[in-house]
Amino acid sequence: MNYGETFKLVKKLSFDKDYIVCKSEEAELFILRPSKLTKRFKSYDVKRNFQIWLRIGEREFRPNHLRVMIDLHLRSRSRPDLKRDLLQAFDNIFYGSDPENEIRKLEKENFDHFLNPLPIIANLSQLFLIEQEYAYYGESNFSPINLFYQGWVRQSIATEKEIDNVCMSIANRQPPSPKYTSLDNRKHKDYQEKRKPLWYFEE
């Protein structure tokens, strides 16, 4: 589904009922809107809050942004010749395209290192984008607000830095480099309404 369709689905989620977004032989990605919030999230609006889950075998857990960043970093390191294709696919997802369509060509490629199948990662990335737009509370230096997340997606694929350094920056809630966000960010002085694809990427 494209971004708008998935966003509508999230808004209409029933309470306490799983909805499977993507499924592979080894994993299921699903979303859930709990009717009761834990103390940690008691300030959240129960009608807007939703959770993202992965089911792998008998294990169920809530993945975080680092799963996408690590997976994409590993893929770009194992296939540097596909960096541009990875960046374009995940940018198109950010701009609203259907994840399944965007990664179809890349699914035929062989990656020596990754965490989960590419359809899972692509749909997971779309859900994180929606989560930031729909459920984030507070002020942001980014507009659109989910550009903070997308900047790290871009940086994780394109950077030559080691994965532990990248993850440390993300975990410490540092913003991505303006190199990957400025022209898209309506709150930045360098914002441009018209931008060429992958304006931030230098091969």
Give the model confidence (pLDDT) of 68-105 as tens digits. Answer: 999 999 999 999 999 999 999 999 999 999 999 999 99
Q: In one letter, which amino acid is 40?
A: R
What pTM does this model have? Answer: 0.95
* pLDDT at residue 49, as a whole number: 86
Average pLDDT over every residue of 163-187: 96
Instruction: Tell me the average pLDDT of the chain.
Output: 94
How many CB atoms are located within 10 Å of the residue 160 CB?
Answer: 7
Average pLDDT over residues 172-178: 95
Say if CB 92 and CB 102 are below 8 A apart. Answer: yes
Nearby residues of 135 by Cβ (< 8 Å), 6 or more positions away: 44, 48, 49, 50
- In terms of C-beta density within 10 A (0-12 exposed, 13-18 middle, 19 or more buried), how is residue 168 classed? exposed
Reported confidence tier of residue 41, pLDDT bands at 50, 70, 90: low
Q: In the block, which residue shows the tokens 């830095």?
A: 161
pLDDT in tens, 113-164: 999 999 999 999 999 999 999 987 778 999 999 999 999 999 999 999 999 9
Band (202; pLDDT cuts 50, 70, 90): confident
Give the amino acid at 3: Y
Q: Is it the case that residue 42 has pLDDT exceeding 70?
A: no
**Residue-level pLDDT at 38:** 76
DSSP for the chain reads --HHHHHHHHHTPPBT--EEEEE-SS-EEEEEB-SS--GGGTTS-TTT--EEEEEETTEEE---HHHHHHHHHHHHHH-GGGHHHHHHHHHHHHTT--HHHHTTTGGGS--SS-SS-HHHHHHHHHHHHHHHHHH--S--S-SSTTHHHHHHHHHHHH--S-HHHHHHHHHTTPPPPGGGTTTT-TTSTT--SS--TTTT---
Q: How confident is the model at residue 46 (pLDDT cuts 50, 70, 90)?
A: confident
What are the structure tokens assigned to 71, written together? 């997976």
